[in-house]
Amino acid sequence: MSIVVKKFGGTSVGDISRIKNVARLIRDFREQNPDTQVVAVVSAMAGETNRLIALARSCVVNPDERELDVLSSTGEQVSVALLAMALIELGLPAKSLLGQQARISTDSRHTNAQIQAIDDSTIRATLQQGFIPVIAGFQGITESGDVTTLGRGGSDISAVAVAAALKAQACYIYTDVEGVFSTDPRVCPQARLIDRISHDEMLELASLGAKVLHPRSVFFAMRYGVPLVVLSTFKPGPGTWIVRESELVENPVVTGITYRADEARLTLHKLPGGIQSLSRVFDALAKEEIFIDVISQSGIEDQLANVSFTVPDEVSSKALELAQALVPQLGAEGASIDRNISKVSVVGIGMRSHTGVAAKMFEALAREQVDPQMISTSDIKISVIIPRKYCEIAVRALHESFIEMKPELGQES
């Protein structure tokens, strides 16, 4: 029999009525697909993980990370047990499995662990015994037996990893939206539901601001060739399939427009020393695990340059402190920060084989009098850093140009 993995997020199991609804969804799928076995992966009930972390911080100022993992992992223990009970009441034998029972092995990086291996023997044995395994997402166990959690988006990562280990037919990610849209519908009412999208495009969209899936889960799916389906728990529909590029019938030039308004730009002014100075700056940031995104260099004169780079806003103060500490050592004039920025991106695998995307993008921005301050590209995306107040204007203008109007671009190469 084939296997599918169905993952239900916090909003999907937010209260008892929603947990019972999830049980009915699984029952209906089993009735419609009698030759397919189901494995469920479940998050904690909405808000529960935040409540547990807040509880820890009300007890101590800096909770020990090992103990924080022990505490925060209990949210999933509640939800898997409740869902298993609801399934049993519907006449479907089910058995809840915590991360360690499902043999999800991780490294020892508490609160942000990475899955190293999954021994699927327990899950397969549970299936063979006629039970639906209901697995706790977000958690695993180290070689020494310590409980770990996987960080933001951890339940999605758990689900994809389980699907990869079981060689599942597909991994269904149930959430509170109907699927992946061409842009954020809250910003652009003309946003369209995407039927099918490649792993590569979804990885770019997720990394650049789309919040439907965590980038780590998409990368895992791409690496192991796991088809993903994003769909709504509350509104029946086909959702969005995320598949290998070779499985797409049509490759639109631009598939989606996304944005981030949670980055800051740091600038080192009149930095001497060329590549050696840059190496010292970025090495210091890397040691503090500060992620660097867009980098640009300007105003090169007398072997001095202004170097700008973007970092997540949540660590921007720390990054600024590190940069300011390096200023006298490197002989720079100073360091400054601009938090009033956003990043807007166009993404599409069709960009690999068509010309004219950049021209069309900058034409659309020029019509709205939006001047890019920094630019970053890859083979399937173009990103611009712009003042934050123009973010939504830029998203709507680009969506109109690339998605709604479907413009003629350069010839396919």
Which residue carries 């840059």 as its tokens? 278
Are 386 and 293 in the same domain?
A: yes
Domain that holds residue 305: 247-413
Contact 293, 309 (CB under 8 A): yes
Given this model, what pLDDT does residue 246 score?
A: 84
Are 253 and 171 in the same domain?
A: no
Q: How confident is the model at residue 142 (pLDDT cuts 50, 70, 90)?
A: very high
Residue 142 included in any domain: yes
How confident is the model over 217-227, as pLDDT tens digits?
999 999 999 99
Which of 126, 153, 176 is at the close of a domain?
Answer: 176
Are 139 and 267 in the same domain?
A: no
**Average pLDDT over every residue of 124-141:** 97
Residue 35 included in any domain: yes
Predicted model pTM: 0.89
Which of 176, 200, 224 is at the close of a domain?
Answer: 176
Given this model, what pLDDT does residue 407 score?
A: 54
Contact 344, 384 (CB under 8 A): yes
Distances (CA, A) of 156 to 18, 67, 220, 259, 278: 19, 23, 10, 21, 36
Residue 115 included in any domain: yes
Residue 213 included in any domain: no
Residue 156 C-beta-side C-alpha neighbours within 13 Å: 21
**Opening angle at CA 170, ends 347 and 10, nearest 5:** 80
Q: Where are the alpha helices (DSSP H) in 227-310?
A: 274-287
Lowest mean pLDDT among 100-104, 295-299, 337-341: 295-299
CATH of the domain at 295: 3.30.2130.10
Nearest-Å Rg of the Cα atoms of the chain is: 23
Residue 197 included in any domain: no
Q: How confident is the model at residue 412 (pLDDT cuts 50, 70, 90)?
A: low
Instruction: Estimate to the nearest angstrom the gap between the alpha carbon of 241 and the chain centroid.
Output: 16
Which residue carries 């944005």 as its tokens? 259
Q: How confident is the model at residue 413 (pLDDT cuts 50, 70, 90)?
A: very low
Residue 199 included in any domain: no
Compute how many other C-beta atoms are within 10 angstroms of the C-beta atom of residue 355. 13
Are 169 and 251 in the same domain?
A: no
In whole angstroms, what is the distance from residue 211 CA to residue 205 CA?
9
Q: How confident is the model at residue 406 (pLDDT cuts 50, 70, 90)?
A: low
Is 107's pLDDT higher than 60? yes
Compute how many other C-beta atoms are within 10 angstroms of the C-beta atom of residue 400. 16
How confident is the model over 263-313, as pLDDT tens digits?
999 999 999 977 888 899 999 999 998 999 999 988 777 778 899 999 999
Are 28 and 171 in the same domain?
A: yes
CATH of the domain at 81: 3.40.1160.10
Residue 313 C-beta-side C-alpha neighbours within 13 Å: 12
Given this model, what pLDDT does residue 301 score?
A: 74
Contact 348, 332 (CB under 8 A): no
Given this model, what pLDDT does residue 247 score?
A: 85
Are 272 and 357 in the same domain?
A: yes
In whole angstroms, what is the distance from residue 41 CA to residue 162 CA?
9
Are 169 and 253 in the same domain?
A: no
Given this model, what pLDDT does residue 275 score?
A: 83
* Length reported for the chain: 413
In whole angstroms, what is the distance from residue 294 CA to residue 308 CA?
8
Contact 77, 41 (CB under 8 A): no
Are 137 and 265 in the same domain?
A: no
Which of 153, 176, 199 is at the close of a domain?
Answer: 176
132-136 and 94-97 strand pairing: parallel
345: left (phi over 0), alpha (psi -120 to 50) or beta: beta
Residue 238 included in any domain: no
Given this model, what pLDDT does residue 299 score?
A: 74
381-387 and 374-378 strand pairing: antiparallel
Structural domain total, the chain: 2
SS3 content of the chain, % helix, strand, coil (to 5): 40, 25, 35
Contact 177, 193 (CB under 8 A): no
Are 15 and 96 in the same domain?
A: yes
Residue 184 included in any domain: no
Closest to 37 (Cα-Cα) out of 127, 103, 115, 126: 127
How confident is the model over 353-375, as pLDDT tens digits?
888 999 999 999 999 999 999 99
Which residue carries 């308004």 as its tokens? 261
Are 172 and 292 in the same domain?
A: no
Are 38 and 168 in the same domain?
A: yes
Given this model, what pLDDT does residue 159 score?
A: 97
Are 49 and 165 in the same domain?
A: yes
**Average pLDDT over every residue of 334-343:** 95
